[in-house]
Homo-oligomer: A and B are copies of this chain.
Amino acid sequence: MFIHETKVRVRYGETDQMGVVYYGNYALYYEIGRVEALRSLGMTYREMEESGVQMPVLEMRCRYLFPALYDEQLTIRTIIREMPTARITFDFEIVNERAQLINRGVVSLAFMNNSTKRPTRCPSQLAGLLMPFFY
């Protein structure tokens, strides 16, 4: 299992008139979580795209437990529970400054060859970086 944590501060533009983060904006936080998780492993999503592999999202699930408020610093915990194959699944737990778990998410992405737009396997560089966490 691979776990990574990163922090993000809620922007004003991410709130809505209910006074809390708009429900659609958690997708941005999950994106930050997985991008920073990859960076901590030693590769960037930008490099992956430049090497010809994109990662379209297949599925997302979110559970909204408590609202996130403007200017709060949130901790995004990103978890990879299984070695990726033709897809990779990230679990997310978002925790506020009072250590309250406010949101849980799951996002599954495919690996796609940029030029053929066809599914491909997990790039070997990423597989190699993740291997030590699973075996």
Contacts and interface: CB of A to CB of B under 8 A. Distances in A.
Contacts of A23: 27, 56-57, 60
Contacts of A44: 71
Copies per complex?
4
A63 B59 contact: yes
A99 interface: no
Which applies to chain A's interface (DSSP): helix, strand, loop or mixed? mixed
A interface, how many residues as a size bin? 35 or more
A56 B62 contact: no
Given A11-B28, A13-B27, 10 more contacts: A12-B22, A17-B20, A23-B57, A23-B60, A24-B25, A24-B26, A56-B64, A59-B62, A60-B60, A60-B61
